[in-house]
Structure 1
Amino acid sequence: MMSPLRLEVVVVPVGDVDRSLAFYRDKLGFHLDVDYHPNDRFRVVQLTPPGSSCSVQLGMGLTAMAPGAVDGLCLVVNDIELAHRNLTDAGVTVEPIRHKRSVDWQGDFAPGLDPDRRDYASFADLRDPDGNLWTLQERGFAGRNTDS
Structure 2
Amino acid sequence: MKATNTAIKFSVEVVVLPVSDVDRALRFYVNQVGFTLDVDYAPNDLFRVVQLTPPGSGCSIQIGKGTTAAPAGSVQNIYLVVNDVEVARNLLSERGVAVGEIRHKTPIDAWDGSFAPGLDAARKDYASFCEFFDPDGNHWLLQERGYRSS
With normalisation by structure 2, the TM-score equals: 0.93
2:140 alignment partner, one of 134, 137, 141 = 134
**How many Å separate the matches in 2 of 1:121 and 1:142?**
13
Identity of aligned residues (%): 58
2:99 alignment partner, one of 94, 98, 113 = 94
Is the partner of 1:71 in helix, strand or coil? coil
Is 1:10 the equivalent of 2:32?
A: no
**How many Å separate the matches in 2 of 1:113 and 1:86?**
16
Q: CA deviation at 1:142?
A: 2.5
1:25 alignment partner, one of 15, 26, 30 = 30
**How many Å separate the matches in 2 of 1:6 and 1:141?**
25
**How many Å separate the matches in 1 of 2:73 and 2:105?**
26
**How many Å separate the matches in 2 of 1:37 and 1:44?**
6
Q: CA deviation at 1:143?
A: 7.6
**How many Å separate the matches in 1 of 2:147 and 2:9?**
29
1:44-63 pair list within 5 angstroms: 44-63=49-68
Q: Where does the alignment leave 5 or more consecutive residues of structure 2 unmatched?
A: none
The one-letter amino acid paired with 2:54 is: P
Q: How many matched pairs?
A: 144
Q: Where does the alignment leave 5 or more consecutive residues of structure 1 unmatched?
A: none
**How many Å separate the matches in 2 of 1:77 and 1:53?**
13
Aligned match of 2:118: 112
1:77 alignment partner, one of 63, 82, 87 = 82
